[in-house]
Structure 1
């Protein structure tokens, strides 16, 4: 029997698999798809997620391959938030296709001993784990649903998914452009709609946006190249010479959140726990951050280093983060779809505030980047030099608690409350050397 069965081999499930292996848990990841999806829903990696990658020693490939963008948009407004003011070693976002992100995260998980099984369609839960379509039972002490907005795990566990249905639709096309915008990027908004153009690897550009014609609850139908071309030309005055579509898709603003992130031995993370309009590219990032919070806790429980009650803090800490995510994506959706004259005036006023009020821009940038998340124990601890010359992020690569002058730092980078005397949770201290290596060392018991 595995300690944990993860359903879904997207970024959330793969990061969780690596975190569980780092903590000493046995894990299998089950994925319906026979191979990785080449069409990348997510492109953006935010500063807090880059910090998380650094805290596990795997940031370099992402930094080497991703396109660095030093600012971000709120609701598609023309004036962008300046990320250079953020208190992080990584004051930028990275543009990298989700397919490559998944490839890198799967390499990490598999390299640490996680089993990833594809062509395995989970149809329900069993008392021993999960049941596959062919009748096989995959046994696990815990089951984690990382299987998207239509989560089989969530439904089988009977966890409610309240929220609202779609009222508007966005569209995207990954296409070849014979006349791309200068520097490859473009952002155009007006009463006829709004769009952004972003370059992708392989000579392809992504055009993503929305328009008044799809501002309705009814499904508009499958997107065609002719429709995309006409819509883009109406908004931007040109179709940028688009041809040879690689992927055409629509997405709605249905917004829902799981009522509970834990139900007994079943837990949820990522899109299985929250769905929303993909404004600002935050979805994948919040999913990875869910997994980062859950991973060390679940590993500590299954290996006997912590009581089962520790898992309840996963819901109490991450559910409010998901609720805030939904609130902000709804606000951005309102701005994005403000096509009327009054809506355009509202967009202009808010955009001017972002440009002229640094404090406002800074607050929005912190929220979008994931750097402002705080739990009852405290906010994330920023990168810092330790007395022995090491750094906090390097020390966290062991997956253990770290003692610093600021206090005890949890494996997920947030301040910890001191555990009760005799607690089996472990920590390493700032006096040891060569601590940035990924090799596991004999744990030291933390006593409050």
Structure 2
């Protein structure tokens, strides 16, 4: 079920932009590259769980005992829970920052809201904390919601982050806006004046 929800979240916003005519059809091609590796992983883990639960005989019993012992250790349990929880999932998106392509957590903001609340209209979110990024993103105002509240987890410094409508970080910078135009065009289509 979670895999299907992730697939729908990934493809839904892309379909909406293409259907509206504001993004090129090629945006839809990113779905396969992003979601199929995750689907393959889920299938592999499902096959392993099925094999563990349905196999019979002394070898299968021994394997289940070894797995039970492994899951009884902090490292083993942490590994399995983190894998099943999906925290490892990320997309290979262009960008130099190590968080690009990772899911953004529901960050508390200093205005008393949270990041998740900013996605209620289906647009991408641009966090702009004294960086000037809002001016760069203005041509995408129909596709980007600008949020100027500071994530309380970050130090008080100029920063900006473009989060796709599916909650994955597309671009981030601290103190400058280089690359925001390119990232906005890649994920949201050309600026309004060009379509």
TM-score normalised over the length of structure 2: 0.66
Whole-Å separation in 2 of the counterparts to 1:320 and 1:347: 27
Contact 2:90 2:103 in 1 (8 A): yes
Alignment CA distance shift 1:387-1:304 (3 Å): farther
User: How do 1:133-144 and structure 2 match up within 5 A?
Assistant: none
Aligned length: 144
User: How do 1:155-170 and structure 2 match up within 5 A?
Assistant: none
Whole-Å separation in 2 of the counterparts to 1:389 and 1:397: 16
Whole-Å separation in 1 of the counterparts to 2:64 and 2:43: 20
1:400 aligns to 2:123 (yes or no):
yes
1:373 aligns to 2:83 (yes or no):
no
Whole-Å separation in 2 of the counterparts to 1:366 and 1:289: 17
Alignment CA distance shift 1:360-1:421 (3 Å): closer
Aligned to 2:162, the other structure's residue is in SS state strand
1:410 aligns to 2:164 (yes or no):
yes
Aligned to 2:17, the other structure's residue is in SS state helix
Whole-Å separation in 1 of the counterparts to 2:181 and 2:33: 18
Aligned to 1:375, the other structure's residue is in SS state coil
Question: How many angstroms does 1:373 deviate by?
Answer: 1.6
Any gaps of 5 or more consecutive residues in structure 2? 94-100, 128-158, 172-179
Whole-Å separation in 1 of the counterparts to 2:60 and 2:84: 22
| Matching residue within 9, 18, 24 for 1:307 | 24
Whole-Å separation in 1 of the counterparts to 2:102 and 2:160: 12
1:296 aligns to 2:13 (yes or no):
yes
- Cα deviation, 1:29-58, whole Å, max 9, x if unaligned, reads xxxxxxxxxxxxxxxxxxxxxxxxxxxxxx
User: How do 1:60-139 and structure 2 match up within 5 A?
Assistant: none
Question: How many angstroms does 1:384 deviate by?
Answer: 0.6
User: How do 1:215-234 and structure 2 match up within 5 A?
Assistant: none
Whole-Å separation in 2 of the counterparts to 1:341 and 1:385: 51
Contact 1:338 1:347 in 2 (8 A): no
- Matched residue, 1:204: none
Whole-Å separation in 1 of the counterparts to 2:24 and 2:77: 41
- Matched residue, 1:63: none
- Matched residue, 2:188: 425
- Matched residue, 2:51: 334
- Matched residue, 1:385: 108
Question: How many angstroms does 1:338 deviate by?
Answer: 2.8
Contact 2:170 2:183 in 1 (8 A): no
Whole-Å separation in 1 of the counterparts to 2:166 and 2:184: 22
Whole-Å separation in 2 of the counterparts to 1:421 and 1:374: 17
Q: Which has the higher strand share?
A: 1
Any gaps of 5 or more consecutive residues in structure 1? 1-283, 427-443
Question: How many angstroms does 1:419 deviate by?
Answer: 5.0
Alignment CA distance shift 1:419-1:346 (3 Å): farther
Whole-Å separation in 2 of the counterparts to 1:407 and 1:359: 33
Alignment CA distance shift 1:312-1:421 (3 Å): closer
1:325 aligns to 2:42 (yes or no):
yes
- Cα deviation, 1:335-382, whole Å, max 9, x if unaligned, reads 1123211211110111111111x2322222122233332111322111
Whole-Å separation in 2 of the counterparts to 1:409 and 1:312: 19
Whole-Å separation in 2 of the counterparts to 1:419 and 1:361: 42
Alignment CA distance shift 1:421-1:373 (3 Å): closer
| Matching residue within 351, 355, 361 for 2:68 | 351
Question: Higher Cα Rg: structure 1 or 2?
Answer: 1
